[in-house]
Amino acid sequence: MTKSFRVTLLPGDGIGPEIMTVAVAVLKQVGEQHNIQFDFTEALLGGAAIDATGSPLPAETLSTCQASDAVLLASIGGYKWDDLPREKRPETGLLGLRSGLKLFANLRPATILPQLLSASSLKPEIVEGVDIMVVRELTGGIYFGTPKGIFETEDGQRGVSTMVYHSSEIDRIGKVAFETARKRKGQLCSVDKANVLDVSQLWRDRITALSTHYPDVELSHLYVDNAAMQLVRAPKQFDTIVTGNLFGDILSDAAAMLTGSIGMLPSASLGESGPGVFEPVHGSAPDIAGQDKANPLAQVLSAAMMLRYGLDQPKAADQIEQAVLTVLDQGYRTGDIMSEGMKAVGCREMGEALKQALRPK
Ligand code: NAD
């Protein structure tokens, strides 16, 4: 039986349209082989939307996204729009999209591909085989807690930010993390600072209580300072990590950079119900836009994440991830991951190599 999904495409700015073209071609080809039909609708976001409508997130874009099963986003932004007032900037459109879709969970994988071992700044024997997923809470914690601000006092100015988590917020991110760990190796490490922060003690208590519903997932806890140390000392010990907004912001970047190549990193942002947004970690790379130099693999891996975590099509996701490994095995490299003896290709040729790798043998 053919499954059908409505997918909103947001190519955005800079290299966005180039890498999106490759991802869509890959999805269509995989769809044919797995009886999945994609109903794609393209919409405007970021600079492209500002130029066409004056707004970085037109109402029509948000409603199209809300009515879809998943959103595949490329990248937004560029020099052209840098001097606009904040509410008119491309990034404001992205924040509006995240809040409009009530996305509270950010999933950032850091997988070391054997073919790109040398791209990491750590020793190969430390990073070989690393496969980590960081699940970060996205809408709570110290970035949003109140009171916040800089206040005048008799003793001078006082800066305040407040780290707040409600038990319901911890439970919902905890559920996403346990479910994610279940789809992986079944190990979840919760990161907090419960030795110092009361809010972290509540975090630890709730995650521990939740674990009784997931007897198949092995739960451990680490303090954030130790977690940062362990990530660079022995990253292979981690499978899935769950943590709050601030700690996750820092740890997900550190974990991602174990891989050493920004053009390879996908991400997913999920809500309680409704569509998730799947996008590469990198920006719109205006320095190489329109030159057929972009690496489309982070975008293609974002499409694989969409199939796995947004549309529950793990076999199709596996096939895309396998095709990425195949083209790397064959020596194809865009400029950002090029090394001696490999075959330098542009965005389009990498796309062709992927399509070839996806053909049934
Ligand atoms: P960037 O990620 O766009 O680029 C950083 C460097 O990495 C550049 O040298 C770029 O050429 C290279 N690079 C990035 N992606 C690549 C790819 N797929 N293939 C090959 N090389 C790649 O970050 P930046 O330069 O700081 O930001 C550029 C614009 O992107 C800014 O307007 C910024 O606001 C925006 N941005 C958007 C997002 C997003 O859409 N989520 C994220 C970060 C930055």
Distance CA 227, CA 117 (A): 22
- Please say if the pLDDT value at position 178 is more than 80: yes
283 with 236, same domain: the answer is no
- Which atom from ligand 1 is nearest to the alpha carbon of 299? 18
Give SS3 for 202: helix
Q: Are residue 8 and residue 93 in the same domain, yes or no?
A: yes
Same domain, 91 and 116: no
The bridge status of strand 156-160 relative to strand 149-153 is antiparallel
Residues 258 and 315 in one domain: no
Ligand 1 atom showing the smallest separation from residue 279 Cα: 41
**DSSP state at residue 71:** E
Nearest CA among 58, 157, 137 for reference residue 100: 58
- Together in a domain, 88 and 108: no
Q: Looking at the structure, tell me whether residues 80 and 111 fall in a common domain.
A: no
Judge if 352 and 303 occupy the same domain. Answer: yes
Last-in-domain residue among 217, 233, 262: 262
CB distance 271 to 137 below 8 Å: no
- Report if pTM > 0.85: yes
CATH, residue 280: 3.40.718.10
| Tokens linked to 209 | 């209580």
Question: What tens digit of pLDDT does each residue of 291-342 get?
Answer: 999 999 999 999 999 999 999 999 999 999 999 999 999 999 999 999 889 9
Residue 267 lies in a domain: no
Domain assignment of residue 210, yes or no: yes
Q: What are phi and psi of 275, to 5 degrees?
A: -75, 145
> Is 33 domain-assigned?
yes
User: Quick one: 223 and 75 in the same domain?
Assistant: no
Mean pLDDT of 149-176: 97
Atom 33 in ligand 1: residue holding the nearest Cα:
77
Beta bridge partners of 269: 106, 277
Nearest alpha carbon, ligand 1 atom 23 = 283
The total number of structural domains in the chain stands at 2
Residue 108 marked ligand-binding? yes
Residue 269 lies inside a defined structural domain of this protein: no
Separation CA 22–CA 299 (nearest Å): 8
- The predicted-structure confidence for 209-267, as pLDDT tens digits, reads as follows 999 999 999 999 999 999 999 999 999 999 999 999 999 999 998 998 888 788 899 99
Give the residue numbers spanning the domain of 146. Answer: 104-262
Instruction: Give ∠ CA 197-200-205 in degrees, rounded to 5.
Output: 130
